[in-house]
Amino acid sequence: MTILLAFSPHQDDTGAVELACQLARSNNDTVHAVTVVPQAWPTAVAGDTDRDFKLWAKEEGEWSASKARDVLAEHPDVVSEASWCAGRSVPQALLDRAAELDAGLIVVGSGDEGPHGKVFLTSKTDRLLHSSGVPVAIAPQGYWCGPTGRVTRATLGFRGDDATWSLLDRAAEICRRVDASLRLVTYAVRGRTMRPSTVSGAEEMVHQQWIRQATAELQEAVEHLHSLGFTDDQVSSEVAVGTSWGRAMDRLEWHRGDVLVVGSSSTSSLLQRVFLGSSAAKIVRNSPVPVLVVP
Protein backbone atom coordinates (compact mmCIF):
# COMPACT_ATOMS: atom_id res chain seq x y z
CA MET A 1 0.00 0.00 0.00
CA THR A 2 1.10 3.55 -0.69
CA ILE A 3 0.89 6.10 2.13
CA LEU A 4 0.53 9.67 0.91
CA LEU A 5 2.41 12.07 3.19
CA ALA A 6 1.35 15.71 3.09
CA PHE A 7 4.74 17.43 3.32
CA SER A 8 5.23 21.08 4.21
CA PRO A 9 8.85 22.21 3.76
CA HIS A 10 8.34 25.39 5.77
CA GLN A 11 7.34 23.64 9.01
CA ASP A 12 9.98 22.69 11.57
CA ASP A 13 7.70 19.96 12.94
CA THR A 14 8.40 16.63 11.20
CA GLY A 15 5.74 14.69 13.13
CA ALA A 16 3.87 13.75 9.95
CA VAL A 17 7.07 12.27 8.46
CA GLU A 18 7.68 10.29 11.64
CA LEU A 19 4.13 8.94 11.66
CA ALA A 20 4.10 8.04 7.97
CA CYS A 21 7.35 6.10 8.32
CA GLN A 22 6.14 4.40 11.50
CA LEU A 23 2.95 3.23 9.79
CA ALA A 24 4.84 2.14 6.66
CA ARG A 25 7.43 0.26 8.70
CA SER A 26 4.71 -1.57 10.60
CA ASN A 27 3.02 -2.89 7.47
CA ASN A 28 5.83 -2.91 4.86
CA ASP A 29 4.18 -0.03 2.99
CA THR A 30 5.75 2.73 0.90
CA VAL A 31 5.64 6.46 1.60
CA HIS A 32 5.11 9.08 -1.09
CA ALA A 33 5.58 12.64 0.15
CA VAL A 34 3.64 15.31 -1.75
CA THR A 35 4.00 19.08 -1.49
CA VAL A 36 1.27 21.31 -2.93
CA VAL A 37 2.40 24.66 -4.35
CA PRO A 38 0.07 27.48 -5.45
CA GLN A 39 -1.36 27.24 -8.95
CA ALA A 40 -1.54 30.25 -11.25
CA TRP A 41 -4.89 31.43 -12.57
CA PRO A 42 -5.39 30.62 -16.26
CA THR A 43 -4.99 33.59 -18.59
CA ALA A 44 -5.67 34.02 -22.28
CA VAL A 45 -2.13 35.25 -22.94
CA ALA A 46 0.56 34.52 -20.40
CA GLY A 47 2.38 37.65 -19.34
CA ASP A 48 5.76 38.08 -17.69
CA THR A 49 4.19 38.05 -14.23
CA ASP A 50 2.40 34.79 -14.91
CA ARG A 51 5.53 33.18 -16.33
CA ASP A 52 7.55 34.34 -13.34
CA PHE A 53 4.96 32.88 -10.97
CA LYS A 54 4.96 29.52 -12.74
CA LEU A 55 8.75 29.46 -12.68
CA TRP A 56 8.75 30.26 -8.95
CA ALA A 57 6.14 27.56 -8.28
CA LYS A 58 8.20 24.98 -10.17
CA GLU A 59 11.38 25.88 -8.30
CA GLU A 60 9.49 25.82 -4.98
CA GLY A 61 8.02 22.41 -5.79
CA GLU A 62 11.34 20.88 -6.83
CA TRP A 63 13.07 22.30 -3.75
CA SER A 64 10.28 20.95 -1.52
CA ALA A 65 10.50 17.47 -3.06
CA SER A 66 14.27 17.50 -2.58
CA LYS A 67 13.90 18.50 1.07
CA ALA A 68 11.28 15.77 1.60
CA ARG A 69 13.71 13.17 0.21
CA ASP A 70 16.40 14.39 2.62
CA VAL A 71 14.06 14.07 5.62
CA LEU A 72 12.80 10.67 4.52
CA ALA A 73 16.40 9.50 4.11
CA GLU A 74 16.61 9.51 7.90
CA HIS A 75 14.38 6.43 7.70
CA PRO A 76 16.42 4.29 5.28
CA ASP A 77 14.44 1.13 6.02
CA VAL A 78 11.28 2.69 4.56
CA VAL A 79 10.83 2.78 0.78
CA SER A 80 9.90 6.36 -0.08
CA GLU A 81 9.57 8.91 -2.86
CA ALA A 82 8.68 12.58 -3.08
CA SER A 83 6.98 14.80 -5.63
CA TRP A 84 5.09 18.06 -5.90
CA CYS A 85 1.95 19.32 -7.59
CA ALA A 86 0.20 22.63 -8.10
CA GLY A 87 -3.28 23.34 -6.86
CA ARG A 88 -5.55 26.14 -5.68
CA SER A 89 -6.88 23.97 -2.85
CA VAL A 90 -4.34 21.99 -0.84
CA PRO A 91 -6.90 19.41 0.45
CA GLN A 92 -8.31 18.81 -3.04
CA ALA A 93 -4.84 18.59 -4.59
CA LEU A 94 -3.86 15.97 -1.99
CA LEU A 95 -7.02 13.97 -2.67
CA ASP A 96 -6.40 14.09 -6.42
CA ARG A 97 -2.81 12.97 -5.94
CA ALA A 98 -3.91 10.20 -3.57
CA ALA A 99 -6.28 8.93 -6.27
CA GLU A 100 -3.49 9.02 -8.87
CA LEU A 101 -1.18 7.04 -6.59
CA ASP A 102 -3.98 4.72 -5.43
CA ALA A 103 -2.96 5.61 -1.87
CA GLY A 104 -4.78 3.81 0.92
CA LEU A 105 -3.95 6.34 3.62
CA ILE A 106 -3.19 10.07 3.91
CA VAL A 107 -0.92 11.31 6.71
CA VAL A 108 -0.89 14.92 7.86
CA GLY A 109 0.64 16.84 10.76
CA SER A 110 -0.85 19.16 13.36
CA GLY A 111 -0.80 22.92 13.03
CA ASP A 112 1.99 24.98 14.56
CA GLU A 113 -0.60 26.83 16.64
CA GLY A 114 -1.53 23.70 18.58
CA PRO A 115 -0.07 22.57 21.92
CA HIS A 116 3.00 20.36 21.87
CA GLY A 117 2.18 16.68 22.11
CA LYS A 118 -1.48 17.08 21.10
CA VAL A 119 -3.38 16.71 17.85
CA PHE A 120 -4.44 20.06 16.41
CA LEU A 121 -6.74 20.24 13.38
CA THR A 122 -5.98 23.08 10.97
CA SER A 123 -8.63 24.44 8.61
CA LYS A 124 -6.99 22.53 5.74
CA THR A 125 -6.98 19.27 7.69
CA ASP A 126 -10.61 19.83 8.65
CA ARG A 127 -11.57 20.26 4.99
CA LEU A 128 -9.54 17.18 4.11
CA LEU A 129 -11.41 15.15 6.74
CA HIS A 130 -14.73 16.27 5.28
CA SER A 131 -13.76 15.17 1.77
CA SER A 132 -11.52 12.12 2.02
CA GLY A 133 -12.76 8.71 0.98
CA VAL A 134 -9.68 7.04 2.50
CA PRO A 135 -8.50 7.02 6.14
CA VAL A 136 -6.55 10.04 7.37
CA ALA A 137 -3.83 9.79 10.03
CA ILE A 138 -2.92 12.89 12.07
CA ALA A 139 0.33 13.25 14.00
CA PRO A 140 0.45 15.23 17.27
CA GLN A 141 2.56 18.36 17.35
CA GLY A 142 6.22 17.39 17.79
CA TYR A 143 5.58 13.68 17.35
CA TRP A 144 8.62 11.40 17.27
CA CYS A 145 8.65 7.63 16.98
CA GLY A 146 12.37 6.95 16.54
CA PRO A 147 14.28 5.32 13.66
CA THR A 148 12.79 1.89 14.35
CA GLY A 149 9.38 2.85 15.75
CA ARG A 150 6.41 0.63 14.93
CA VAL A 151 2.76 0.52 15.89
CA THR A 152 2.44 -1.75 18.93
CA ARG A 153 -1.12 -1.02 20.08
CA ALA A 154 -4.28 0.45 18.61
CA THR A 155 -6.93 2.03 20.82
CA LEU A 156 -10.37 1.96 19.26
CA GLY A 157 -13.13 4.32 20.35
CA PHE A 158 -16.02 1.87 20.76
CA ARG A 159 -19.63 3.08 20.62
CA GLY A 160 -21.38 -0.29 20.39
CA ASP A 161 -23.35 0.58 17.23
CA ASP A 162 -23.26 -1.24 13.90
CA ALA A 163 -20.70 1.15 12.42
CA THR A 164 -18.29 0.58 15.32
CA TRP A 165 -18.69 -3.19 15.11
CA SER A 166 -17.76 -3.01 11.44
CA LEU A 167 -14.78 -0.81 12.30
CA LEU A 168 -13.80 -3.28 15.03
CA ASP A 169 -13.33 -6.06 12.47
CA ARG A 170 -11.25 -3.79 10.26
CA ALA A 171 -9.08 -2.69 13.19
CA ALA A 172 -8.67 -6.30 14.31
CA GLU A 173 -7.51 -7.33 10.86
CA ILE A 174 -4.92 -4.55 10.78
CA CYS A 175 -3.67 -5.35 14.29
CA ARG A 176 -3.20 -9.01 13.40
CA ARG A 177 -1.30 -8.01 10.26
CA VAL A 178 1.10 -5.62 12.04
CA ASP A 179 1.32 -7.73 15.23
CA ALA A 180 -0.19 -5.06 17.46
CA SER A 181 -2.52 -5.40 20.43
CA LEU A 182 -5.98 -3.82 20.48
CA ARG A 183 -7.57 -1.80 23.28
CA LEU A 184 -11.28 -0.94 23.22
CA VAL A 185 -12.36 2.24 24.99
CA THR A 186 -15.79 3.71 25.59
CA TYR A 187 -15.82 7.30 26.83
CA ALA A 188 -18.20 8.20 29.65
CA VAL A 189 -18.09 11.99 29.83
CA ARG A 190 -20.38 13.77 32.21
CA GLY A 191 -20.13 17.49 32.85
CA ARG A 192 -20.61 19.10 36.22
CA THR A 193 -24.19 19.90 37.17
CA MET A 194 -25.61 22.86 39.04
CA ARG A 195 -28.99 21.19 39.57
CA PRO A 196 -30.55 20.29 42.96
CA SER A 197 -29.02 17.33 44.75
CA THR A 198 -32.08 15.11 44.19
CA VAL A 199 -31.83 15.56 40.44
CA SER A 200 -28.05 15.15 40.58
CA GLY A 201 -28.51 11.84 42.37
CA ALA A 202 -30.86 10.63 39.65
CA GLU A 203 -28.39 11.72 37.00
CA GLU A 204 -25.64 9.80 38.79
CA MET A 205 -27.78 6.66 38.84
CA VAL A 206 -28.37 6.97 35.08
CA HIS A 207 -24.67 7.61 34.51
CA GLN A 208 -23.65 4.53 36.50
CA GLN A 209 -26.21 2.40 34.65
CA TRP A 210 -24.81 3.64 31.34
CA ILE A 211 -21.28 2.69 32.47
CA ARG A 212 -22.47 -0.83 33.36
CA GLN A 213 -24.12 -1.14 29.96
CA ALA A 214 -20.98 0.10 28.20
CA THR A 215 -18.86 -2.37 30.18
CA ALA A 216 -21.13 -5.23 29.10
CA GLU A 217 -20.91 -4.16 25.45
CA LEU A 218 -17.13 -3.96 25.69
CA GLN A 219 -16.99 -7.46 27.15
CA GLU A 220 -19.08 -8.73 24.24
CA ALA A 221 -16.62 -7.10 21.85
CA VAL A 222 -13.65 -8.66 23.67
CA GLU A 223 -15.26 -12.10 23.41
CA HIS A 224 -15.71 -11.47 19.69
CA LEU A 225 -12.00 -10.70 19.38
CA HIS A 226 -11.18 -13.89 21.28
CA SER A 227 -13.22 -15.79 18.69
CA LEU A 228 -10.99 -14.23 16.02
CA GLY A 229 -7.89 -15.60 17.71
CA PHE A 230 -6.84 -12.73 19.97
CA THR A 231 -5.36 -13.84 23.28
CA ASP A 232 -5.88 -12.15 26.65
CA ASP A 233 -2.59 -10.27 26.37
CA GLN A 234 -3.52 -8.98 22.90
CA VAL A 235 -6.82 -7.33 23.78
CA SER A 236 -8.13 -5.16 26.60
CA SER A 237 -11.08 -2.89 27.28
CA GLU A 238 -11.80 0.11 29.47
CA VAL A 239 -14.45 2.74 30.17
CA ALA A 240 -12.78 6.15 30.39
CA VAL A 241 -14.76 8.28 32.84
CA GLY A 242 -14.27 12.02 33.21
CA THR A 243 -16.02 15.35 33.62
CA SER A 244 -14.58 16.43 30.26
CA TRP A 245 -13.17 14.75 27.16
CA GLY A 246 -9.68 15.86 28.14
CA ARG A 247 -9.96 14.32 31.60
CA ALA A 248 -11.42 11.12 30.20
CA MET A 249 -8.47 10.83 27.80
CA ASP A 250 -6.03 11.55 30.63
CA ARG A 251 -7.44 8.60 32.59
CA LEU A 252 -6.01 6.28 29.96
CA GLU A 253 -2.39 5.17 29.93
CA TRP A 254 -0.58 5.92 26.68
CA HIS A 255 2.70 4.47 25.46
CA ARG A 256 5.06 5.00 22.56
CA GLY A 257 3.78 2.92 19.68
CA ASP A 258 0.11 3.68 20.43
CA VAL A 259 -2.33 4.94 17.82
CA LEU A 260 -5.95 5.96 18.36
CA VAL A 261 -8.52 4.74 15.83
CA VAL A 262 -11.73 6.73 15.49
CA GLY A 263 -14.66 6.04 13.19
CA SER A 264 -16.32 8.87 11.33
CA SER A 265 -19.80 10.01 12.25
CA SER A 266 -22.54 7.43 11.72
CA THR A 267 -25.06 10.26 11.22
CA SER A 268 -23.20 11.94 8.39
CA SER A 269 -25.00 12.22 5.08
CA LEU A 270 -21.62 12.20 3.33
CA LEU A 271 -21.43 8.46 2.78
CA GLN A 272 -17.94 6.96 2.55
CA ARG A 273 -16.38 10.20 3.72
CA VAL A 274 -14.29 10.87 6.82
CA PHE A 275 -16.75 13.15 8.57
CA LEU A 276 -16.10 13.78 12.25
CA GLY A 277 -19.08 13.94 14.54
CA SER A 278 -18.96 16.16 17.62
CA SER A 279 -17.81 13.36 19.94
CA ALA A 280 -15.12 12.10 17.55
CA ALA A 281 -13.84 15.64 17.04
CA LYS A 282 -13.44 16.10 20.81
CA ILE A 283 -11.62 12.77 21.10
CA VAL A 284 -9.25 13.71 18.28
CA ARG A 285 -8.45 17.15 19.71
CA ASN A 286 -7.58 15.66 23.10
CA SER A 287 -5.42 12.82 21.83
CA PRO A 288 -1.76 12.63 22.93
CA VAL A 289 -1.03 9.96 20.31
CA PRO A 290 -1.48 9.78 16.51
CA VAL A 291 -5.08 9.45 15.38
CA LEU A 292 -6.36 7.37 12.48
CA VAL A 293 -9.79 8.54 11.32
CA VAL A 294 -11.59 5.91 9.26
CA PRO A 295 -14.76 6.32 7.15
DSSP codes, 18-78: HHHHHHHHHHT-EEEEEEEEE-PPP-SS--HHHHHHHHHHHHHHHHHHHHHHHHHTT-TTS
pLDDT tens figures, 233-250: 999 999 998 888 888 888
Distance between CA 77 and CA 294 in Å, rounded?
A: 27
> Beta strand pairing status for 291-294 and 136-138?
antiparallel
Continuous segment of H or E residues that includes residue 85? strand 80-87
Helix spans in 152-244 (H): 162-178, 197-227
The length of the chain, given as a count of residues:
295
Confidence class of residue 271 from pLDDT cuts 50, 70 and 90?
very low
User: Mean of the pLDDT values across residues 101-127?
Assistant: 90
The three-state secondary structure class of 96 is helix
Q: Which of 62-76, 107-121, 205-219, 265-279 shows the lowest per-residue confidence on average (mean pLDDT)?
A: 265-279
Q: Is 2-138 a domain of CATH 3.30.2000.10?
A: no
State the chain's mean pLDDT as an integer: 87
Q: What is the pLDDT of residue 92?
A: 95
Within the chain, all domains assigned CATH 3.40.50.620 are found at 2-138, 153-254
pLDDT tens figures, 127-147: 898 889 899 999 999 999 888
Confidence class of residue 275 from pLDDT cuts 50, 70 and 90?
very low
Q: What is the pLDDT of residue 141?
A: 93
Answer yes or no: are the C-beta atoms of 248 and 189 closer than 8 Å.
Answer: yes
Better-scored residue on pLDDT, 51 or 57: 57
* pLDDT over threshold 70, residue 26: yes
* pLDDT over threshold 50, residue 267: no
The superfamily CATH assigns to domain 153-254 is HUPs (3.40.50.620)
Distance between CA 95 and CA 125 in Å, rounded?
A: 12
* pLDDT over threshold 50, residue 269: no
